[in-house]
Structure 1
Amino acid sequence: MDIGSININITAAKICRDNLKDKFLKELLSNYCSSLDLILTTLSVPISFMAHGLRKSKAFHFSLQDANTMVMNGEGIKENDPKKTAEELIKYFEDLLKNNDKNQIENAVTEIEKLIEQVPILRESYNNLGLNALVNSWTIFEAFAKDLWIYCLNNYPKKYLFNLLKNGKDTEQEIDGISGKNITIGLLAKYDFDISKNLGDLLSPKYDFTSVRGIKKSFKDLFALKDNEISFFDNPHLSQLEITRHLLVHNAGIIDADYLNRTNRMNEILKDKISLTTEETSDLINAGTETLKEIFLLADNKLTTANGSLA
């Protein structure tokens, strides 16, 4: 995997953010974009440091050779004064660095890429960075999906609570402190005996926000939707992102029977370590980005009336 070539479509998320009408949703999606930027930064920093170090060390090596030749042979040196000679050397190397800096960076990156291919442990380490980016992309996907769901119910309880009461009867999750229509004093005290603005926080444990299926159901129930209205959840890359993340976190990326039963990838072998190409990694990460973008657009539309004012 070439982690420097992993392509995360932050631009699409930013365009979506700029078109949202709800102020909080706009801020929330902006934070998501910042989280994606952090993932890209994590991928780029190691190779940037290596390229910088290699470029500097090579420049220093050749600079010593050039300086020695110039001083010993008098090439390009017009002054006999040591101070002025040093000044000429400094100017020479400053001009040299300005002219060659771009080529030196490109050459350093090329050499690092060759080194990664030749050294197995280095290649595996860089591959793990790419897989870690995938894990992080799922983590922020589920976190922001949950935050969005909570916001909608916290701020528009009259609009969406009855949808949940009607459509959420078949959820398997139990909530501590709630039994049927009864809420314990302890749970009420947690919200200062006023849950009118905290129903999202209160009822979010009722849904599984750690799976595609659970997140899909949470929004389906909240907005009283039909399956064909949230078909963007059916992206096979999104499901693959979920199960790949699960495999990496819970089984160190070693393929197990549960993974094989759920994956749509071909030619994978039990007990082998999962291997993804750069393109596959990009597709999986972007599946989360694209789906979250659609969730935000859906929520923004639901919270906004036809004339553009909030419901």
Structure 2
Amino acid sequence: MKTSTVSVHYVNACLARARQAGLDTQPFITRLDVSPEILLDPTARVPSEEYVRLCMQLVKATNDEFLLLGGIPRTRPGTFALMAHASMPAGNLRRAILRFFQFYNLLLDDLHFKLSKRNDEAIISIRFDNPALDWDHQTSDSVLVLLHRFFSWLIGQRLELTQVSLSGEPPVHREEYQRLFRTRILFNQARDSLHFKQKYLDNPITQTEASLKEFLREAPYNLVVIPDNDDSLTAKIRNIIGNDFRHDFPDFEAVARSLNSTPQTLRRHLKQEGTSYQEIKDTMRRDAAIYYLNRSQLTINEIADLMGFSEPSTFHRAFKKWTGLTPGAYRQNSDQEMM
């Protein structure tokens, strides 16, 4: 069961790019298992699978992996897969990054990739010649996520970031960046960049042609969700909690003991990842609730029970706090869209 969700901002951004490319977006909206009313709520969330399915449809329709951003054709479908194959024999992460950047810097005229060093940090940065093309920062966000996910996969472990720098103003969905990168996020910076310790550059490539074939078969879903090789504290806690919310969540002290930590130390480290134990629990239940409301014939009371709420009214209040809609309104909107 895949229950990951994304901010509705990214769905709307893709649709905006499609309209800019001259596509009639109504057929794509109709095929989404998400109601138009939800698309109008900037705080709403949608299942990641729906976002990925939309992206794949728009890439096919525009014949461009960048969705004809600014009316400019850049890379045909399959370009990323070709680059991934070219990166495999690089040996270590440093050479893989340089090969990746050489590939795209030769291919693209207006988007530039750079690897630099400062003190003990390595910095991956991207830059548009005309930043106004990426008016809502969606393309830059997507590229940064793709780079982080792909390079983490190449070395078989999470590339732990020390900072993410973004050139735009803090958006309504600013909390989404914490979910995506789990590190310190700085806005209004000179460039869009990922920062991490230089030691990772020497990590060997652990993947094979066989694992690459499987990776590309799962793409782009595995480039949107938190990667399976995520060894962050957030991921470890999610594994401890599991997917059965009908039982009481383990208390924070028990979680700390499971991780051979103290509550104070664990709380501090989670803060460094931009989250908290309560936020992790809320996110897991929110995403699971959205999954069941969209896909199952369970009643709302039954879903409340699955989410561990003894009283449906408590579930209603929690869900509205998470999404801005009551469970009934969320399901009704989805049902109307499917008629």
Instruction: Provide the TM-score with structure 1 as the length reference.
Output: 0.24
Which structure has more relative contact order (CA 8 Å, sep 6+)? It is 1
Would you tell me which structure has more helix in proportion to its own residues? 1
Would you tell me which structure has more strand in proportion to its own residues? 2
Instruction: Provide the TM-score with structure 2 as the length reference.
Output: 0.22
